[in-house]
Amino acid sequence: MSALLTPDTSSGSSSSSSSSSSTALIGAPGPFTWRGAVFAVSTGGDFLFRDKTHYHTPVRASEAAPVDRYSYLGMSVAAGNFLPPHRACGQRVVFAAGAPRAGEGGKVVLFAKCQSELLSVQRLLHGGSFASSFGYSLAAVDVDGDGFKELVVGAPFYGTGGTVYVYAGGPDGLAEDAERIRLKSRAEDGTGSGSGSGSGSEQEEALEGRFGLSVAFAGDLNADGAEDLVVGAPYDGRGKVFVYMGSSEHGWNSQKRPDQVRRERRREEGFDMCSILASSTCSTYSR
């Protein structure tokens, strides 16, 4: 199950929240023979005036379900101004849900609250590689500080090491094509750079690092006005967390390389650390 408490992003600010219009977004990949489902419930504001409708995704063919059985919809969730209001039933906030086993490589579905309790499918993003688990993890991060959230999509089984896609946000919604950060594993891109070339055995472990198994909004770590991102790779060596600083001038750094790499002693701790980091940043985001 994945869960997220989303603030109103009408102000264009991500780290501040409006408790009067928060929504709890809950992803559950198991129901309906692993087709999965997402639920959205209003949690903020005065109880009498709160929207008490329980919104949910379509799950049957008659309801135009966006994914088939065994797709694991709801494995990850995120929320942001991913579409302009006129393309999202007038809503400023759109919900994204990952379905990493949908289709050949995974899908991400964008939903909006429209005229019924059924969340309306607004757009589908498709993973580009067979069995890459595109959508295993999601995060909304405004890396260039322009007020439009970028959608970060993890595909931890891409190639031999995993990858992360970033769809740029803008006034017309998310870009059609995604850019990838830390595009390939060290051996694949041939540079041997990044977090160090290491020995042959270390490099071999990095190839199965599962980069992108978790991604998380990190707030603005260096207080430069652009939001920052963390990515977990639990099986890269003994486990690593990669920190990417946004930039108000040009988005990511020009090398698309992490600004910081954190390592832990034991293999399992990479995942634990990232989970802790993700939950702490998510709670910051919802505060």
Q: Which residues bind Ca ion (CB under 5 A)?
A: 142, 144, 146, 148, 169, 220, 222, 224, 226, 228
Token reading at 158: 């891409």
CB of 82 to Ca ion, least distance (A): 11
Cβ at position 63, least distance to Ca ion in Å: 33
Which CB, 120 or 247, lies closer to Ca ion? Answer: 247
Closest among 211, 226, 224 to 141, alpha carbons compared = 226
Strands (E), the chain: 2-6, 23-28, 37-42, 54-56, 76-80, 94-99, 107-112, 120-126, 137-141, 150-155, 163-167, 179-181, 214-217, 229-233, 240-244, 260-263
With respect to Ca ion, which residue has the nearer C-beta, 3 or 261? 261
Nearest residue (CB) to Ca ion, 102 versus 241: 241
Shortest distance, position 119 Cβ to Ca ion, whole Å: 24
Q: Using the 8-state DSSP alphabet, how is residue 19 labeled?
A: G
* Torsion angles phi and psi, residue 61, rounded to 5: -60, -35
CB of 228 to Ca ion, least distance (A): 4
Q: Count Cβ atoms below 10 Å from residue 11 Cβ, excluding itself.
A: 12
User: Shortest approach of Ca ion to residue 222 CB, angstroms?
Assistant: 5
Least Å distance between CB 230 and Ca ion? 12
Residue whose entry in the numeric block shows the structure tokens 């931890």: 156
- Between 102 and 152, name the residue whose CB sits nearer to Ca ion: 152
Q: Which is nearer to Ca ion, 142 or 236 (CB)?
A: 142
Cβ closer to Ca ion: 253 or 275? 253
Alpha-helical (H) ranges within 172-253 are 186-189, 200-207
Compute the least distance from the CB of residue 11 to Ca ion, in Å: 14
If the CB atoms of residues 179 and 224 are measured against Ca ion, the closer one turns out to be 224
* Contact by Cβ (8 Å): 28, 44: no
Q: How far apart are CA 205 and CA 176, in angstroms?
A: 33
The answer to whether the CB of 241 falls within 8 A of the CB of 228 is no
Token readout for 11 is 């102000």
From CA 156, how far away is CA 163, in angstroms rounded? 6
